[in-house]
Structure 1
Amino acid sequence: MAEDTSPQTNDIDIATATDESSSGQSDTNQDKGTVIGVEADISQPNREDENGAELENENAEPGYDGEAINGTPSNAPNDTPTSDGDKASVAIDIRAHPDAESETKKKKRKSKNKKHGAAARKGVTGFEEFYADAPITPAEATQEKNEIYSESRPFSERIEQCLQRYRASRRLDSERTMLFNKYLWLGGIDASPRQFTGFAEDREALAEADADSIRQMTATDFVGTGGSRFYNPVEPQDWTVDFHGIVRGFLSRVVPSLYLYDETANKLAANLVKNFLNYILMHDVCPEYNDDIGRAKALCDFAPIELRMMHELLQEMPGNFNTICKELFCDGEVYKSQGEITGELYDKVVSFRVTVLTSAQGWIQQRLMRSSDPTTTHVISETEETYIVYAIHIPHPSGYSIVEEELEAAGHKGKGVPCGLLQLKKSIIDHGYNNILRSGQFKIRNQGYQEFLLEEKLLKKLSKDMKIRAIVCELDIGLRFIKEIKDIRVSWDLFLPQMLMEGWKDPVPNERPPPSVSHPDAEEKVMATEFAVDEPKS
């Protein structure tokens, strides 16, 4: 027995010393490691079978190590292999924290995704819903007030600096860039790309320059350049600063010509202009025009809504009542009946009479009551006119219930509804044609208004000062109705003379000799010489 215990004691001391030197654990953990080492040494086979034990340990079941880790005595036979103290301690750490390594990797990955400074603002365009410009330092605010946007400087210089700084502070994509350039062009500012400047490729100059110098070198917005179709500070008498007018022309004429009735594009254009106007107000660029800018901002808010209403009116007008009038008296359905009005035609006649007797003026109702035969009513005139909305009268809700009760009592339930009154005055839609009168040349003050019957849902979409171009018919009883809608314009529609300059090019002196009596074809000969192509030699 003494011979057998001495080698075991030496093994225990070796395992204990190994654990103390390698693990670096507390005394309590060291004791646990010592116990594990004792149990492992007791269950070890003879040293002669060490290699065989290692081979068996590789094929051992995973559940066996759990008994050694828990520190409970092993009841396995002496020939069952186990790991030594060092392997057991490593197994303890791994089994106690199986997800430690994966959690560390996750934390590292999260930290890599965090961005700060300019990198965090890389995806910001400046057109987000709740975007706000970064605050400026007191020194920068003083410089803007006393130097850059000083009231002593001309307006053209201040707005030029504002445009260049605004474009540098926003990330304009291709569509916004196109819209913003159209808006500036309508205001007489040249924003076309500069050719042959070379600053974009001059890396050394850009690296040595400060922010203001880079902005000047890469700027494309300049006031007073670009030829006669843009604003010229030397001849300011032909131009007027009008922020509200430019927004009216841009949203009512330019944007619909590009996108027709695309509601998303209309909102994009309005929000772009409003973003620029907010920048002007925030930096106090031109305080003398703040009231005008405020009206332009308000227009940007409700312009997309009225543009959508205009599109819906073009699709829905002239409405059910006017369509029935057209079918009865213009298409001649009532005259083709040969005295027998039945079926669908009878429903149309009943609907027509009910609407007129409940909505039209008294003298029209009396004329209609005199003629019980609908075939005696006919069209006396048909013209194409342009009107401006003068007043809108929506029918009172009580009128619907009265008409429904009367129709139900007469056995014609649901065959007619009251209409409201639309009062229109003759007007003109401005265009750049010489053969059409302008609004200032067309006198409408002494002209009265004309009344038309229209459904309530259509009247609610109309606004005062909207313009309508339509084909209008008048019946012999004095009733007018709309046969066809040709065009509808928003209430803030405005034609600007700058729209005529879109394709204009300044004339260039002609160096070719003019034709004369002795040389009538002199110009043609010069042109033939210029465009002549040498024939290939055979």
Structure 2
Amino acid sequence: MATTAVEMSAHPPTAPAHPSQSISISNADPTASQSQLATHSSAAEILRQVEFYFSDENLPNDAHLLGFAGVEGTNPVSLSLIMGFKKMRQYRPKTAVRDVLRTSKIVEVVDNKHIRRRKPLSVQPTVTPRIDPGRYQADLGRLEPHLTKNMLKPTGFEPGATEGPITPAQFEKYSPEENILVRLETAVNSFNANRKMHQNTRAIFEKLMIFGGFAQNSHMFQGGMNKKQMKQEGMDKEEIEQATAHYGVTEQVTDAYWKEFEEGEKSTWVVDFEAIAKAFFSSQFLQWFDWTDAKQVTTAAQVLRNFYNYLTVHPVCPEYNDQILAARKVCDLAEQELPKLAIIDRSLPGAFNSACSTLFGGAFANVYISKEAKDSWGYGADNVGLERDEAITIFMAGLASHGTTEQCEKASKLGDVKCLSEERMGLEVVAVELPSDTVKETYDFLRKREGYSDFVYAMGKLVCKRWDIPFDAPLDLPAFMMEEKADKTQRFEFLVEAETLAFCVPGMKMEAVIKELDLGIKWLDAVEVVYPTFHTWLPNENIMAWKEPGPPTSWMKRQEARKMGLPEEGEGEDVAEEQGDYDEEEPD
């Protein structure tokens, strides 16, 4: 017979029974009346037993009850649970027991269904709380009532979820003699069928599959029958899984893969799990999801990690195990970097660069909003620029701390400072230089002695080099300018607050607009997009939106005829057809 941890606890110390069996006033709530204290014939025993359960002597040593009450012992515990303990089963009814517990100085009644300690435990627990997963789901449903029972069921994406041992039938599904496309298609649909996906996890998994060369609903062969009806028709689990397959490899991928074997040409499609993971987290995820939300990042990483675990436990493609393990590490890296990237995205270009932009005709010039308007709900957390006096203070503090004597002297007449150039470019962080002690002392001096206000913060340097934006439009520039842009040794230094630099990692990338003053100072006028260190661009980005072109329409024919100097009426079309310029038949 099973015995709970509570029943294995020591018995409470036996107190001498009072002749009248009434509850002593010293053990009761002082506000309780005598009629409230006598609601049960065994009130003294009930009170003594329950108070013992929650006492400093028992609760820290009771793993089972501690799992409900929490490490401080103050979480609400169901009264029904307490009344289910062996020593409490004799006391009925529940309402009378509840009324007795209202008189306790150790516990209190919560919402008529739960009780809890009035004060946290005064000693540390000696055991690890034992938490039942089923109870966790029930508590979650109570705390978040909008979640239905179906939504509270295990999904397979929980952090501690593991893949159980596979059966011989599951092992045989992935014969090494089968080509990789069939094995991957089988694995994706099996994974999908064995996971309970909610809206968020479903969206992430679907984006990953589409980006990786799969299409949705391509193998819907159930003929109007549901799974239950298929089972009644005698179909086994594997046949039902195939009939209800939700994903299939696209025709473009299949054609590209077999081209190497059938036509002897190099395949234009390759299996690369690591590249897909990198490109997904640095492109698709940033486009389609709120990547600035750390919870969303964790969910996405868990979905991908769970899928890769499935591929390694099942012998889907052992020849690519190294790639899969590398892709799983990308999930860990994304969880580390994307929250930092979100802070950088909100913080850049930073105060000094915004000050330069305000003073010298950049993106922040003439966008300052008064304090009254800045506090209104309409602007929220938007960057509403700097007041000119603030911009001058920040700019001069930056020059005093990092500039030369010549630069400071020339900048004393701001009207004489000119902007020489502007360029949009890709940048890659190569180094982060935090402010030195000398720089910190200079900023402290300026704040204290010169009266600079608290909006002037110590700054370090963000050191970058050129980065070729892989999907950018080609440039048509003179050769000497192209050579300059191809020079990856050129360094760019930007003054940025130390608080922001703490989150910058060498290898992170950005698309930005850079301007230069005749002082020899470059600044970030605008930061358009930021990318993690593992940013990868794949042709999948373009192929996903590509569609097979259809036959030319009538207006296309007219435009082509006009270019060729042919009549635009019917006879022109006849001439074009005779010349073989157009084919009216549908393409194969």
Cα distance change on mapping 1:195 and 1:520 into 2, 3 Å: farther
Shift, 1:126, TM fit: 0.8
Shift, 1:319, TM fit: 1.1
Aligned to 1:245: 275
* Residue 288 in structure 1 maps to residue 319 in structure 2: yes
Aligned to 2:500: 458
Matches of 1:491 and 1:409, distance apart in 2: 41
- Choose which of 295, 304, 322 in structure 1 pairs with 2:353: 322
Cα distance change on mapping 1:232 and 1:100 into 2, 3 Å: same
Report 1:334-349 matches (<5 A): 348-349=391-392
Aligned to 1:357: 400
* Residue 210 in structure 1 maps to residue 236 in structure 2: yes
Could you say what secondary structure the match of 1:495 adopts?
A: coil
* Structure 1, gaps ≥5 residues long: 1-96, 104-112, 334-343, 524-538
Matches of 2:329 and 2:412, distance apart in 1: 53
Shift, 1:421, TM fit: 1.1
Matches of 1:268 and 1:164, distance apart in 2: 20
Shift, 1:214, TM fit: 1.9
* Residue 382 in structure 1 maps to residue 441 in structure 2: no
1:116-154: CA deviation from partner (whole Å, max 9, x where unpaired): xxx9999221112212233345x45xx61xx43344443
Matches of 1:434 and 1:374, distance apart in 2: 37
Identity %: 24
Aligned to 2:520: 478
Check whether the contact 2:419–2:516 (CA below 8 A) recurs between aligned residues: yes
Q: Higher helix share goes to which structure?
A: 1
Aligned to 2:201: 176
Aligned to 2:546: 504
Greater relative contact order (Cα < 8 A, sep 6+): 1
User: Greater CA deviation, 270-279 or 297-306?
Assistant: 297-306
Cα root mean square deviation, aligned: 4.2
Report 1:75-474 matches (<5 A): 99=92, 123-137=153-167, 139=168, 144=171, 147-195=172-220, 197-198=222-223, 200-201=225-226, 205-207=230-232, 208-223=234-249, 226-228=250-252, 232-236=256-260, 237-261=267-291, 263=293, 264-330=295-361, 348-360=391-403, 364-369=404-409, 372-397=412-437, 399-401=439-441, 403-405=443-445, 408-409=448-449, 416-431=456-471, 433=473, 444-474=486-516
Matches of 1:433 and 1:464, distance apart in 2: 26
Check whether the contact 1:355–1:417 (CA below 8 A) recurs between aligned residues: no
1:426-476: CA deviation from partner (whole Å, max 9, x where unpaired): 223232756699xx9997355411111111112122222222222222222
Check whether the contact 1:185–1:230 (CA below 8 A) recurs between aligned residues: no
Cα distance change on mapping 1:231 and 1:430 into 2, 3 Å: farther
Could you say what secondary structure the match of 1:463 adopts?
A: coil
1:481 partner amino acid: W
Cα distance change on mapping 1:131 and 1:330 into 2, 3 Å: same
Cα distance change on mapping 1:330 and 1:221 into 2, 3 Å: closer
* Structure 2, gaps ≥5 residues long: 1-89, 97-133, 136-148, 261-266, 366-386, 559-565, 576-588
Matches of 1:510 and 1:371, distance apart in 2: 63
TM-score, scaled relative to structure 1: 0.62
Max radius of gyration: which structure? 1
Report 1:479-494 matches (<5 A): 479-494=521-536
Could you say what secondary structure the match of 2:246 adopts?
A: coil
2:237 partner amino acid: A
Cα distance change on mapping 1:128 and 1:323 into 2, 3 Å: same
Matches of 2:488 and 2:229, distance apart in 1: 71
Matches of 1:345 and 1:184, distance apart in 2: 51
Shift, 1:210, TM fit: 1.9
Could you say what secondary structure the match of 2:312 adopts?
A: helix
Matches of 2:274 and 2:287, distance apart in 1: 19
Matches of 1:245 and 1:519, distance apart in 2: 54
2:500 partner amino acid: L
Matches of 2:476 and 2:345, distance apart in 1: 23
Matched residue count: 392
Matches of 2:462 and 2:94, distance apart in 1: 78
1:266-305: CA deviation from partner (whole Å, max 9, x where unpaired): 3322221111001112224323322222221122123245
Matches of 2:553 and 2:449, distance apart in 1: 88
Matches of 1:158 and 1:201, distance apart in 2: 25
1:505 partner amino acid: K
Could you say what secondary structure the match of 2:282 adopts?
A: helix
2:491 partner amino acid: Y
Matches of 1:395 and 1:369, distance apart in 2: 23
Check whether the contact 1:350–1:415 (CA below 8 A) recurs between aligned residues: no
Shift, 1:198, TM fit: 0.6
2:398 partner amino acid: T
Cα distance change on mapping 1:441 and 1:243 into 2, 3 Å: farther
Could you say what secondary structure the match of 2:428 adopts?
A: strand
Check whether the contact 2:343–2:500 (CA below 8 A) recurs between aligned residues: no
